[in-house]
Amino acid sequence: MTNQVPYSDAQAAELYNVLNAWGPSDDFYLSLVMAAPSVLDVGCGTGMMLHRARALGHQGRLLGIDPDAAALDVARRRDDVEWVEGTAASMHWRQEFHQAVMMSHAFQCLVSDDDIQASLTAIRAALVDGGRFTFETRNPRVRSWERWNPDHPTDVTDADGRQLRIIHQVESVEGDAVTFTETTSELGGPALRTDRTILRFLDLDTLSDFLTDAGFVIEGQSGGWFGEPLEPASREMIITARAA
Ligand SMILES: C[S@@+](CC[C@H](N)C(=O)[O-])C[C@H]1O[C@@H](n2cnc3c(N)ncnc32)[C@H](O)[C@@H]1O
């Protein structure tokens, strides 16, 4: 992501939690997290999931890793969870976790084949044999990026009471990689910052090949947070992969 001006990374990290209120996807992951003795949250962002798990009495090891220092500053408000600054591919844990998760489409931040391979290999290595990796990625057939344009703004009030408008604009679609900007403005006012992101939209066959090559077996796939079957029109592809 790139940052252009006066809305700071710290403010943007706070805003993330306002924009991403707890929902059905979080309930889905929370049940997995609470059931596992040890959990690795890859791309943990501001740490909402592991905060909630500890608050609800999870007694085991909880570790969140993310390359975004500002998001981790928010996560670190809870010091009874381990927080590490880094990427998925940089991880060097060996057979230490029973469950890994990558939530809120964090998996799609892995763009190049090399990064996907290295990240999945590192996640597999961090899991005990039989451990599980659960994540979701948007179904490319639904082409959700076609709604990422100024006709679909999000208005929000931030933690300081500022009224903001968030708009997205797709810059390019190259193969299965979508580059877009997210601009945060005062409502009716000037832009405060623009972040540019590239997300990869893997199809299920390609995703399956990456997982197999990294030592996973796909154990479950679903098209919704309540166990709906994965169908061509499903918005999400929710995958549970077992460390073989
Ligand atoms: C949409 S946010 C999701 C954050 C969090 N999982 C949640 O549910 O709120 C995607 C996160 O993935 C992180 N990320 C980007 N590239 C990454 C990488 N290579 N390895 C791990 N995390 C990454 C970003 O910094 C960001 O915090």
Confidence of residue 6 (pLDDT cuts 50, 70, 90): confident
Residue 89: closest CA among 72, 113, 70: 113
Determine the pLDDT at residue 63.
98
Determine the pLDDT at residue 1.
46
- Whether 4 shows a pLDDT value over 80: the answer reads no
Determine the pLDDT at residue 226.
98
Q: Distances from the Cα of 142 to the Cαs of 5, 198, 235, 236, in angstroms?
A: 33, 17, 6, 9
Q: Is 104 in the pocket of ligand 1 (CB under 6 A)?
A: yes
> How many Å lie between the centroid of ligand 1 and the Cα of residue 100?
13
pTM score: 0.96
Q: Is 42 in the pocket of ligand 1 (CB under 6 A)?
A: yes
Q: Is 66 in the pocket of ligand 1 (CB under 6 A)?
A: yes
Confidence of residue 3 (pLDDT cuts 50, 70, 90): very low
The 3-state secondary structure of 60-117, one letter per residue: CEEEEEECCHHHHHHHCCCCCCEEEECCHHHCCCCCCEEEEEECCCHHHHCCCHHHHH
- What pLDDT digit, counting tens, does each position of 37-75 carry? 999 999 999 999 999 999 999 999 999 999 999 999 999
Mean pLDDT, the chain, integer: 96
> How many Å lie between the centroid of ligand 1 and the Cα of residue 107?
7
Q: Is 223 in the pocket of ligand 1 (CB under 6 A)?
A: no
